[in-house]
């Protein structure tokens, strides 16, 4: 079982304030200890205010690496691109000076792009200082989707990234081809911040925490990993 600390907030503003402060402290500490800090970022509405707050801080951004947790296999100017989201929120103002490592490359498919992406991620300092995860109503996290093609490999491999082809659903939308951090890479983080909002997702999280088949709810693999330090942030 992972080490899990649950932080429940009265509203999203309180969550954002705490998350922003914690991320700042982790990045400053990472630079102090190792000379560089590595922040693994996810898309989604929950971290967006914290990203915007961080972008305005006068941190030593030249020594901060920002890299994606997962990405749809689409160009960076696509409306569904996580990279575009990160560039419009975190990599603004002072944050624009950070070193950004993308997952999407010029390969035709995510599977064909794995080797190049793996090489880029292996160049980053490990353990990563912070990895930010979200969670879907189907129990997926990163792009580790239930019963997806590539899921079993993503949960078992020692590689840092893997290609995923999810089963099309209301959650995935039509773009099912993704690149994602593996379970091993998520575990190679000083701390994982799992961001959850709303009663529906809280119920999904509790269901995942109770145990069951990992293929049905891949978040279970993270929650049950013996070496992951997780901080769960929840707000209604």
Alpha carbon distance 169, 138 (integer Å): 10
What's the pLDDT at 105? 97
Sign of CA dihedral 1, 186, 54, 196: negative
What's the pLDDT at 1? 82
Q: What is the pTM of this model?
A: 0.97
What's the pLDDT at 25? 98
What's the pLDDT at 205? 98
Find the helix or strand (DSSP H, E) in which 177 lies: strand 177-181
What's the pLDDT at 210? 94
Query: Whose structure tokens read 């997952």?
Result: 103
What's the pLDDT at 102? 95
**Could you tell me which residues come within 8 angstroms of residue 33 by beta carbon, excluding any fewer than 6 positions away?**
none
| Closest to 177 measured CA to CA, from 109, 112, 118, 119 | 109
What's the pLDDT at 115? 98
Alpha carbon distance 102, 83 (integer Å): 7
Per-10-residue mean pLDDT for the chain, 236 residues long?
A: 95 97 98 98 95 97 98 95 97 98 97 98 98 97 98 98 96 94 98 97 97 97 97 98
Instruction: Compute the residue count for the chain.
Output: 236
């Amino acid at each position: 079982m992972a080490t899990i600390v649950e932080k429940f907030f009265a509203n999203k503003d309180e969550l954002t304030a705490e998350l922003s402060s914690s991320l700042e402290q982790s990045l400053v500490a990472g630079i102090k200890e190792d000379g560089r800090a590595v922040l693994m970022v996810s898309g989604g509405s929950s971290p967006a205010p914290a990203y915007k707050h961080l972008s305005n801080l006068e941190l030593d951004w030249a020594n901060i690496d920002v890299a994606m947790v997962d990405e749809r296999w689409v160009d960076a100017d696509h409306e569904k691109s996580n990279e575009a989201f990160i560039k419009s929120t975190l990599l603004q103002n002072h944050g624009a000076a950070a070193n950004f490592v993308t997952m999407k490359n010029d390969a035709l498919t995510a599977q064909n792009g794995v080797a190049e992406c793996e090489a880029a991620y292996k160049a980053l300092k490990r353990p990563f200082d912070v990895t930010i995860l979200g969670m879907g109503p189907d129990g997926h996290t990163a792009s580790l989707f239930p019963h997806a093609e590539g899921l079993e490999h993503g949960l078992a491999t020692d590689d840092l990234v893997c290609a995923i082809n999810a089963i099309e659903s209301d959650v995935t939308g039509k773009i099912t081809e993704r690149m994602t951090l593996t379970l091993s890479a998520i575990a190679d983080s000083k701390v994982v911040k799992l961001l959850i909002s709303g009663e529906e997702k809280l119920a999904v999280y509790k269901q995942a925490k109770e145990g069951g088949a990992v293929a049905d709810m891949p978040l279970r693999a993270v929650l049950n990993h013996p070496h992951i330090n997780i901080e769960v942030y929840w707000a209604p």
